Amino acid sequence: MRPPLSHALAPTLALVPAPSLHERWFVSDEGLPTRWDQLFAGPTLAAVGTAVVVLGVVWLLWLLRGRRPILPGPMDLGASPERLALLLGWVPLLLAVHTAVPLFVSGVNGQLFTPNLGLAQPADAFVGLLEIGIGLLLFYGAFSRYAALALAGTWLLGLFLFGPVRLIEQTIFLGIAAFFFIAGRGPIAVDRVFGPWAGARERLLGLAVPLLRAGTGISLVWLAFTEKLLNLPLAARFLREYPDVNFLPALGIDAGTEAFVGMAGTVELTVGLLVLSGMFTRAVIVFLWLPFNLSLAYFGWRELVGHLPIYAAMAILLLWGQGGPRMLEALRAGLLPMAEKPVGGRGEAAHRSS
């Protein structure tokens, strides 16, 4: 049962609705395939055109500001390089925990990554065990690079089980896999026992966060098409089940389902392209946080668990911003192994000398 607060939150939630709503998590898409024949239809072209225009305006503003961000980063707010390095050293742990929890839940429930990718027997047992194993390795930070390869392999396995349309929606997991393969699991991990081979790949380190950003942005862009712009019947089914999400009637606007879905798809497409572009990243992430958090009161635990990976990606992108040499150097310093101390210290050495 939806909480009573949902009626109060729904209009606010829907002001920026699209990025936070995954229709297939809550309603079945049986008999409602993605309509690729609508790719060049008027409403889809209008949505794409609007997104491109917004992207162009943002690009001009980006150039006029000399590629400077709107919102300040940690160092602009007074963080020293040492403290920033310490903070960025926790980034892999943050991402690992936020990825492991949905992997555990999906593995136990016989799903691949998300609720709409339900597995049949015996694949559910095999894939579920794989997901739980990957989650444990990431959670404890043991053999993280192999866990990253296994996560990417699980995504590829999903291509054969569900087809490319469903799996491209989950490219955020490819971005996460790329991040861990390059950056490792950071200083707070079992991998530290194994020495430098389990740590970050320094020559590729500059790609770790951009690849995570790319995986996140592609997921948003693809979902804009497959759950909204190219699948109006699915969105209509979702709105029949959750009518409060459409806030337009509450504002006295007599617009139908098609208009609302078109607006939602346009917002999601635009935001996804902005995430991919890397322009004003912190401002885009702050905008995204509103719908992703407000939707929790309306959709509950399934929404929370399913969105944990993107919550982590958003937090990392908020810290990282547009990146740059100072951020990269801080990340490199934060991922370096902690200083090793000899077991036993001076007392043991003195005991041996005596």
pLDDT tens digits, residue range 227-278?
A: 999 999 998 898 888 887 877 776 777 777 888 889 889 999 999 999 999 9
Sign of torsion over alpha carbons 225, 230, 233, 239 = positive
Average pLDDT of span 328-342: 74
Distances (CA, A) of 143 to 112, 127, 291, 298, 330: 22, 19, 35, 38, 24
The span from the CA of 33 to the CA of 36, in Å, is: 9
- Do 320 and 209 meet the contact criterion of CB atoms below 8 Å apart? yes
Provide the pLDDT confidence category of residue 22 given band limits of 50, 70 and 90: confident
CB atoms within 10 A of CB 322: 17
Given phi > 0 = left and psi -120 to 50 = alpha, else beta, which region is 143? left
Q: Scanning the structure block, which residue is given the tokens 């444990």?
A: 136
Sign of torsion over alpha carbons 15, 21, 27, 28 = positive
Sign of torsion over alpha carbons 174, 176, 179, 182 = negative
Q: What is the pLDDT of residue 26?
A: 87
Provide the pLDDT confidence category of residue 20 given band limits of 50, 70 and 90: low
Q: What is the pLDDT of residue 200?
A: 82
Max mean pLDDT range (10-24, 67-81, 331-345):
67-81
CB-count exposure of residue 20 (10 Å: 0-12, 13-18, 19+): buried
Q: What is the pLDDT of residue 33?
A: 87
The mean of the pLDDT values for the chain is 86
Average pLDDT of span 104-124: 93
pLDDT of 21 strictly over 70:
no
3-state secondary structure the chain: CCCCCHHHHHHHHHCCCHHHCCHHHCCCCCCCCCCHHHCCCHHHHHHHHHHHHHHHHHHHHHHHCCCCCCCCCCCCCCCCHHHHHHHHHCHHHHHHHHHHHHHHHHHHHCECCCCCCECCCCHHHHHHHHHHHHHHHHHHCCCHHHHHHHHHHHHHHHHHHHCHHHHHCCHHHHHHHHHHHHHCCCCCCHHHHHCHHHCCCHHHHHHHHHHHHHHHHHHHHHHHHHHHHCCHHHHHHHHHHCHHHCCCHHHCCCCCHHHHHHHHHHHHHHHHHHHHHCCCHHHHHHHHHHHHHHHHHHHCHHHHHHHHHHHHHHHHHHHHCCCCHHHHHHHHHHHCCCCCCCCCHHHHHHHHHC
pTM of the model: 0.88
Q: Which residues pair with 111 in a beta bridge?
A: 118
- pLDDT tens digit string along 202-230? 889 999 999 999 999 999 999 999 999 99
Q: Scanning the structure block, which residue is given the tokens 């950071």?
A: 186
What does the block give as tokens for 170? 């989950």
What are the structural domain ranges in the chain? 6-28+35-337
CA-based Rg of the chain, rounded to a whole angstrom? 22
- pLDDT tens digit string along 34-85? 899 999 999 999 999 999 999 999 999 999 999 999 999 999 899 999 999 9
Q: What is the pLDDT of residue 28?
A: 84
Q: What is the pLDDT of residue 30?
A: 85
